[in-house]
Chains A and B, each alone.
Chain A
């Protein structure tokens, strides 16, 4: 009995330690985010850094986001056609494709692809700056690392992600249209007409909101893990992995929350 009680106590201690560590991590992350946002309010601002980051995050992510959306839209249309045919509902392909792409797959897959490309790059760059003392050097050169490194990345990601997802949505729908008209025998004009009928303004707005939220988490995770990296090359590697994994989880979690709030009722 004593042995069982001891084992139970150890399990409780272990569980408590995990919960305390988790809450500590959330607290540190929240403090980092609030510091970054607080510093954004007051000058100096660095517009050149902002434009550079918009280019890096937005323009250079276009190929990977666009191709992902195009292929996913085509595959989605094919699957809806196969599934719908069983219930004599193959005609729902354009409607379900546009809803699926705009409400979920466009922003989520776009967010995940950008997180894979951008969060890792940010964590690696800022992490390398940390371990080579470049961030300390910034401070001694009268430059606030939050304003110079973190702020422009967060603003750039929040601004360009909606634009990227807009393109992603358009290419996703186009992928479905290409497959449906080229392979499944759909009439082009009828397909586009049905797509337009089922595409609602609210869907597009929710897609943009999701994209902006995902952009915030993508940049925040990249900057946070890079900023706190330590231990040389291995530490930068860990920061990069942690940035991508945590960005993925936050994107999927926030997507669920937004979906339930917007479409749950």
Chain B
């Protein structure tokens, strides 16, 4: 079966700083893959390379077998239209009310777009009463849910979630995790999530990959992470300071 998304030898550097040093990864259609890894390991950069927001310095990225590197502006726009993305901070447009944020990518008369926005709000557990509020009037959890509604509004084939539970309390984080799992299952979407949150991993993932120093150091099923014979995964899953992953700290 052709992978929905396939990365092969993807490298990306910014000046002298190497962020991705040869990523190989395949995501199957309908699969929910979660990428784990410490801060600054290149998870967000990898997502942006797949989206075409950044161009890799080397390697290939394919979606449904078609390369996405070096596309013309029009082909790149068509490629990006296949994705929905939940950004880490929500990235809602401050100047627009909630309903216009959600329906931003939709065409048609305003009344239809508003109705579609309210329908998507209900999918993430919010009522029509928030449709006319500004993003600044919402709590962090509600902003995340609105951002999720916006990400699914155009019914994308592939959804990306960048740290979906960062900054949320554990209960709200679980609400978001449940929503993501339900949406991915109901809408039969291929999903790629990046997170540090092991509770999210256990709830959202079908499979898990670990990124460390710009490379995938482990890739396996969700149930396999606790028994993975990999010191990087073991240290990350158990949140230990000691292990092969070294934090760059100055000695006091």
Contact = CB atoms under 8 A, between A and B. Distances in A.
Interface in A110-148: 128-129, 132-134, 136-137, 139-144
B53 A136 contact: yes
A141 B88 CA distance: 16
B85 A140 contact: yes
Nearest to A144: B77
Contact of A140 (B84, B92, B93, B94): B84
A143 B91 contact: no
Interface string A134-167: 1011011111100000000000000000000000
B83 interface: yes
A134 B91 CA distance: 5
Interface string B98-111: 00000011000000
A142 B154 CA distance: 10
Contact of B89 (A132, A139, A144): A132
A7 B119 CA distance: 71
Nearest to B105: A141
Contacts of A142: 77, 80-81, 105, 154
Contacts of A140: 51, 53, 80, 83-85
A136 B87 contact: yes
Contacts of A141: 104-105, 150, 154
A128 B135 CA distance: 15
A225 to B, nearest CB: 19
A137 B85 contact: yes
Nearest to A137: B91
B218 to A, nearest CB: 28
A71 B3 CA distance: 70
Nearest to A141: B105
A45 B101 CA distance: 19
Nearest to A38: B73
Nearest to A52: B95
Q: Is the interface of B mostly helix, strand, loop or mixed?
A: loop
Nearest to B147: A137
Interface string B23-67: 000000000000000000000000010010100000000000000
Contacts of A132: 89, 91
Contacts of A144: 77
Contacts of A136: 48, 53, 85, 87, 91
Contacts of A133: 87-89, 91
B80 A139 contact: yes
A23 to B, nearest CB: 19
A260 to B, nearest CB: 39
A133 B92 CA distance: 9
Interface in A54-109: none
Interface centre among A132, A133, A137 (most CB of B within 10 A): A137
Nearest to B160: A140
Nearest to A140: B85
Contacts of B51: 139-140
Contacts of B91: 132-134, 136-137
Interface string A194-231: 00000000000000000000000000000000000000
Contacts of B81: 142
Contacts of B80: 139-140, 142
Contacts of A129: 93
Nearest to B89: A132
Contacts of B93: 129, 134, 137
A115 B175 CA distance: 47
Contacts of B94: 128, 134
A137 B85 CA distance: 8
Nearest to A135: B91
A142 B87 CA distance: 15
Contacts of B154: 141-142
A139 B76 CA distance: 10
Contacts of B89: 132-133
A219 B94 CA distance: 21
Interface of B: 48, 51, 53, 77, 80-81, 83-85, 87-89, 91-94, 104-105, 150, 154
8 contacts: A132-B89, A133-B88, A137-B93, A139-B53, A139-B80, A140-B51, A140-B80, A142-B77
Interface of A: 128-129, 132-134, 136-137, 139-144
Q: List the 9 closest pairs (A to B, CB-CB), nearest first.
A: A137-B91, A141-B105, A133-B91, A133-B87, A140-B85, A141-B104, A142-B105, A134-B91, A142-B81
Given A134-B91, A141-B154, A143-B104, 9 more contacts: A132-B89, A133-B88, A133-B89, A136-B85, A136-B91, A137-B92, A139-B53, A139-B80, A141-B150
